[in-house]
Amino acid sequence: MNRFKILVVLTTLSLLSVAQNRKQQLSQIKSFLNMEYPNDAPGAVVLAAVDGNIIFEKAYGLASINPKRKMKTDMVFQVASITKQFVSAAILKLVEEGKMHLKDTIQMYVPNYPVKKYPITINHLLSQTSGIPEYFILEADELHLLAKEHTPEELINYYKNYNLNFKPGSRFEYSNSNYPLLGAALEKVTGMTLKEYLDIHFFKPLEMNSTGLWYSKFLKKKRIPIGYDYNKDSIFPGPKIVGSAMYAAGGLVSTAKDLFKWNMDFKNKSKLSSFIVEDLTTTKTLDSGEKTNYGYGLYLDELKGSPTIQHDGNLYGFTASSLYLPKKDIYVCVLSNKKYDRTQEIANYIASVLIDKPLEILNKTEIKSEKLKEYSGTFKIVDAEFERTLVIKPYKNFLLLSDIKSPESDALLTPAGLDKFLLKVASATFTFFRDKEGKVSGFKVQQSEEEYEFEKVK
């Protein structure tokens, strides 16, 4: 056999091996998703792409329980905080055009926002380092406000008189309050609504035909899933919401395939310039020199040694995750019509399988809720420069972590071993410790090089 024939045979065998490996990976992913999303409950749309090609796209479960309606892959979900990367890109486009500057103070564009003790710049808002407290905190008797139409000014009025939590630039603290200000600034500069600007400059050029700042009046209702919430053993539709109440902080609606098109342009840069993509995906630095692992509207982390660009969204009845591994060119999107669904954990798991470094992940049936009650309680930070109180309680087969001052940032803790849980959204590890009687008395949080200890107070 001559050298040419040998090379052909070796190439063919290599391609067959790759195809077989991919088949095994997809089989593993499908097996997990079939258990995760039963046919008779709210579900999800899951999409995975490698090297710019969709290799997996499937809908699971129900879009509506009553009347019964199956989930479809073209359904349009509320994607909540995934909105922020689009608003960030729009602001960066104006910066690139010289119409705004990152060092400009917000009062240059939103004069009705009062001057604070320290100047707040566009950079501070984009990078979540402004110190502006969270405004999106609603009690049960205030949920009707979600159905009330708001102007950007009315949203800003909710929190414009709040004192800052810290000097801008000195800390990273995620706050939805940053983005209505950015949306209002964009509208002032462009003379357009935020919705119009995003449509003209991003959605239409990228043929994201099912994406917008809230639902189009032309969208058929059968393509809109119902969002569901849970309470003990009951399930019910989430509260009515209108887009203007979410606005720049979380008003985007989209499909898995449209979000894939958007993510594709991070590599192709057909509509997004290198300047925009680089600024979106470069971790920002605090005044102290510490890295935040956050760009503009995007978290920057790693998965089994591979850098990741990601963000999640959580809204009343919907959970969404968008994950990209740029060096591997792997994209995963999980859109769910359940509140507090573990979409980020699922997206990470799928990506880990596709790079042949599968994460350990427990099936729902493997997690016993009775055991989780041991970790319930109210915990307060020990020996820190700032006050922080967290509440932990069982939620279905997981632990729900709540910040008393910021209930909108509730997140799931995933079991990862004996007395050990992971907060995937913040890349943090929670390790519980016990007293002499074996009862949980506190926990330590490890995040990057930082470690905090909390003691149980109730």
The pLDDT of residue 355 is above 80: yes
Task: Give the mean model confidence (pLDDT) for residues 50-75.
Answer: 97
Residue-level pLDDT at 407: 59
Are the folds of 78-354 and 365-456 the same?
A: no
Split at pLDDT 50, 70, 90, the class of 233 is low
At 201, is the pLDDT very low, low, confident or very high (cuts 50, 70, 90)? very high
Q: What pLDDT, on the 0 to 100 scale, is given for residue 223?
A: 97
365-456 belongs to CATH 1.10.1240.10: no
What does the alpha-carbon distance between residue 118 and residue 449 come to, in Å, rounded to a whole number? 28
Instruction: Quote the CA–CA distance of 237 and 49 in Å, as a whole number.
Output: 31
pLDDT-derived band at 403 (thresholds 50, 70, 90) equals: confident
Question: Is the predicted pLDDT of residue 426 greater than 70, yes or no?
Answer: no
Q: Measure the CA–CA gap between 344 and 340, rounded to whole angstroms.
A: 10
pLDDT at residue 365 tops 60 = no
pTM comes to: 0.80
Q: How far apart are CA 269 and CA 410, in angstroms?
A: 34
d(CA 35, CA 396): 16
For residue 412, how many other CB atoms are within 10 A of its CB? Answer: 24
CB 320 within 8 A of CB 77: yes
Check if CATH label 3.40.50.300 holds for domain 78-354: no
pLDDT greater than 50 at residue 132: yes
Judge contact between 402 and 340, C-beta under 8 A.
no
> For the chain, what is the HEC assignment?
CCHHHHHHHHHHHHHHHHHHHHHHHHHHHHHHHHHHCCCCCECEEEEEEECCEEEEEEEECEEECCCCEECCCCCCEEEECCHHHHHHHHHHHHHHCCCCCCCCEHHHCCCCCCCCCCCCEHHHHHCCCCCCCCCCCCCHHHHHHHHCCCCHHHHHHCCCCCCCCCCCCCCCCCCCCHHHHHHHHHHHHHCCCHHHHHHHHHHCCCCCCCCEECCCCCCCHHHCCCCEEEECCEEEECCCCCHHHHHHHHCEEECHHHHHHHHHHHHHCCCCCHHHHHHHCCCCECCCCCECCECCCCEEEEECCEEEEEEEEEECCEEEEEEEECCCCEEEEEEECECCCCHHHHHHHHHHHHCCCCCCCCCHHHCCHHHHHHHCEEEEECCCCCCCEEEEEEECCEEEEEECCCHHHCEEEEEEECCEEEEHHHCEEEEEEECCCCCEEEEEEEECCEEEEEEECC
Domain residue spans in the chain? 78-354, 365-456
What's the rounded Cα separation, in Å, for the pair 102 and 62? 44
Whether the predicted pLDDT of 148 surpasses 70: yes
How many Cα atoms occupy the beta-carbon half-sphere of 205 within 13 Å? Answer: 12
Spatial separation of the C-alpha atoms in residues 188 and 383, rounded to whole Å: 44
The whole-number pLDDT of residue 434 equals 85
- Name residues whose C-beta falls within 8 Å of residue 37's C-beta, 6 or more positions apart in sequence: 43, 44, 60, 61
**Residue 150 banded pLDDT, cuts 50, 70, 90:** very high
- Which of 97-111, 353-367, 442-456 shows the lowest mean pLDDT across its residues? 353-367
- Region 404-412: what's the mean pLDDT? 68
Tens-place pLDDT, residues 284-340: 999 999 999 999 999 999 999 999 999 999 998 999 999 999 999 999 999 999 998
**pLDDT per residue over 17-59, tens digit each?**
567 789 999 999 999 999 899 999 999 999 999 999 999 999 9
Rounded distance between C-alpha atoms, residue 246 and residue 146, angstroms: 8
- % of the chain with per-residue pLDDT over 90: 69
Residue 7 has pLDDT above 80, yes or no: no
